[in-house]
Amino acid sequence: MTDLRVETTPIPGLLVVHLPVHRDDRGWFKENWQRAKMVELGLPDFGPVQNNMSFNAARGATRGIHTEPWDKFVSVATGRVFAAWVDMREGDSFGATYWTEVDESVAVFVPRGVGNSYQALADGTVYSYLVNDHYVPGRTYPALHLGDPTVAIPWPIALDSDEVEISAKDRANPLLAEVTPLAAKKTLITGCRGQLGRALAPLFPDATLVDLDELDLTDAAALAAWPWEDYGLILNAAAYTAVDKAETPEGRPVAWAANAAAPAALARIAAERGITLVHYSTDYVFDGREVEGGHTEDEGFAPLGVYGQTKAAGDLAVSAAPRHYVLRTSWVIGEGHNFVRTMAQLAADGVDPAVVDDQVGRLTFTAELARATRHLVDTGAPYGTYNVTNSGEPRSWAGYARRVFELTGHDPARVSTVTTEEYSAGKELSPRPLHSTLALGKLAGTGFVSADADEALAAYLAG
């Protein structure tokens, strides 16, 4: 009996698992699939949803080479097979091969897009495979001829032998030169016409871009009809951000639908499909009390208004998805109407604004938020919540307004100050957190160096 171990192969992601088999006079016993132990050894936590069995009546039965659009975990229940795999995914590893003999002591994890084939080496061979998507009749996917000379699989029993039985369909499979590689899973960006969605798109150039009119995240039927099997990453940049309107009878249900119910629906889909979900949160989930060093990711929620409450609910829902990133941010500045553009315009028009000086935080430029998203996804950082803002000394809104005046060649002394209470008097406004600075240590621990907010502000105005 060997110890449980996992070894890599020349095909990226194709893993061979050596299983301990306990034998006695009655036969043998093995833990064929043991999630905790195998994941700890490096097997993906791929979330199987279906178990299939293949019975091969006679030695020589040969099947393949089939490329399914899901991950599978293959093992033998009785008998032996010669198994061969060919990488059919687009990319540098297309056409890479690996083969081995599989009996009760060996299992193989086969990633999506890797073609697999099996030749029974004993009568009555049964092999089993777990898959992480349900079989859909009629779905087509790449296949490869068993005798393709390019991959040159050394079948133990020659394919032209009288012992070998191959289906007519498998005999008609194309050669490698005729195969269209299986495309990688796609990225979906929701809220693509918002300021964050526009910043994400250039960093994910092959992404599918949707807004409310293409995919209504609050419509259960629309979500059910979307081809989620084609996607591996969702960047949910859709949100209801009308902070003050969220307090009104008209705005409240819309805010809850967009900021809480929609992320919850995406989280369920992501969990069921093994999709990575990136969601964007806000400092409004906190009450704005002053915290030395800034609010950390594990601070308890205490939102002051409806907008913050809906965003906190969305955060909790998304955290239920196994593969999730919640990027919490503050004072977002992107393309279109925003605080910085307003101050620059007022400066140019000769208007001297009064700006609140008791709300303190850091600006977050959408380019920085998009860059952090790309970094976390590409580096495979641990899933969870990360604070993302630009770095540097926190300022008040009035402090940033003065900096805008200065950078645009105007006298910063033209900006006067008011308190939040004074500014809000007589207005129907949602309560604002006074201290919005977010601690950036966790993000820095992933190797991300946050760009300075003052430098980013200067570049933004110069552009």
Copy the structure tokens of residue 334. Answer: 């992107």
Residue 281 near residue 320, CB atoms below 8 Å: no
Q: How far apart are CA 463 and CA 460, in angstroms?
A: 5
Estimate to the nearest angstrom the gap between the alpha carbon of 185 and the chain centroid.
11
Q: Indicate the residue type of 297.
A: E
Q: How far apart are CA 314 and CA 308, in angstroms?
A: 10
The full 3-state SS of 372-397, as one line of letters, equals HHHHHHHHCCCCEEEECCCECCCEEH
Residue 226 near residue 396, CB atoms below 8 Å: no
Residue 74 near residue 48, CB atoms below 8 Å: no
> Phi/psi class of residue 375: alpha, beta or left (left: φ > 0; alpha: ψ in -120 to 50)?
alpha
Among 121, 107, 108, 116, which residue's Cα sits nearest to residue 61? 121
Contacts of 145 (CB under 8 A, 6+ apart): 65, 171, 173, 174, 175
Q: Indicate the residue type of 153.
A: I
Q: How far apart are CA 419 and CA 398, in angstroms?
A: 10
Q: Indicate the residue type of 277.
A: L
Q: How far apart are CA 74 and CA 294, in angstroms?
A: 49
Q: How far apart are CA 139 and CA 26, in angstroms?
A: 43
Estimate to the nearest angstrom the gap between the alpha carbon of 378 and the chain centroid.
10
Secondary structure element (H or E) that encloses residue 324, with its range: strand 324-329
Size of the chain in residues: 463
Residue 82 near residue 119, CB atoms below 8 Å: yes
Which residues are catalytically annotated?
Answer: 66, 129
With 0-12 / 13-18 / 19 or more C-beta atoms within 10 angstroms meaning exposed / middle / buried, residue 422 is: exposed
Residue 106: strand, helix, or coil: strand
Secondary structure element (H or E) that encloses residue 208, with its range: strand 208-210
Q: How far apart are CA 136 and CA 273, in angstroms?
A: 15
Secondary structure element (H or E) that encloses residue 235, with its range: strand 231-236
